[in-house]
Structure 1
Amino acid sequence: MGKFTLLGMMLLMLASACGQTGSGKTKTGDVLSKPENPYYSNTSTTKLNLPDSVWKKVLPEDVYEISRHAETERAFTGKYWDFTGKGTYYCAACGNKLFRSDAKFASQCGWPSFFEQDNKNSTTEKPDNSLGMERIEVLCGRCGGHLGHIFDDGPPPTGKRYCMNSIVLDFIPDKK
């Protein structure tokens, strides 16, 4: 295989490493119009085990596709990839507390990146061997929704990079 063909294949793999799809925008613009979701709570930690048909009814289409079908927004299109506000990030599907802004860092990968989760139960992980590579998928610890992937190229103190999709994150700023 020629070096240009190999280089082209490597660039294609990098561009699709997180399975990029979608535009990162909702049909109604930058503000998500959420249908009534009785399972959304910023305070409950009760595990949710709902059928896909229920999630399809209560989630906006873009949140549903990423959270329930492990799709990924395109790099550099999500509202939080370079956002620097101070506050807390929650799961957009169920309201579970995921990350604090003081654990967010500028990774320049095109997605919001964090070096640690809010607490040990915020997220869970599972092997992901899709796209012909080994990765670790990050799931919401409450609803099991896909959030993104974790890599070992983050900053101290953990050396981790939680590479998340903006679409499946809600942000609540700290009170002044």
Structure 2
Amino acid sequence: MKFEPKQITLKNAKTVFIRQAKVSDAEDLLNCVKIYIPTSKYIPKLENEIKLTVDQEKDWINSFIINDNSLLLVAEYEGKIIGNIDLTGSRRKIMEHTAVIGMGMLQEWQHIGLGTALLSMVIEWAKSNPILELIWLQVYTENESGLNLYRKMGFTENGIIKNFFKQNNRYFHILTMSLTV
């Protein structure tokens, strides 16, 4: 199912273009991810764990293009990818009506409406997708801005797994949230 590209103006008065990712975005998207993961407190991946090659990134992008219950969007400013959101539909028949959300963006683009815009567009797309019925995500319980965004968008809390992540001998709890579409 196609996604119609959109332009939005953020709180910083800059206009951002949001569109479906193309295989040709692989290198730029991978470079963006390599910048935002090390600066994020709430993406459970370490910098040295980013091992995808450009060809593997192309395959990953293509998986969103060929699977009808999945969507990968990129946000661009002046032709440069500044963030992305993915809705990964389950490949298992018994769960194909579900999809998990992942999102990230460069630090300077946080807290100005980009996350809200990306999430809104994914929800809108999921609601119009004849396969999807439930979308879900996981969030660190201490990520207040993320929790506020997800609650604002209608996600409900499903449960906490305590001590799910461990970094530098500190444990973090994770909350699963879902939205019926």
TM (norm. structure 1) is 0.28
Q: Normalized per residue, which structure has more helix?
A: 2
Quick one: higher RCO (CA 8 Å, sep 6+), 1 or 2? 1
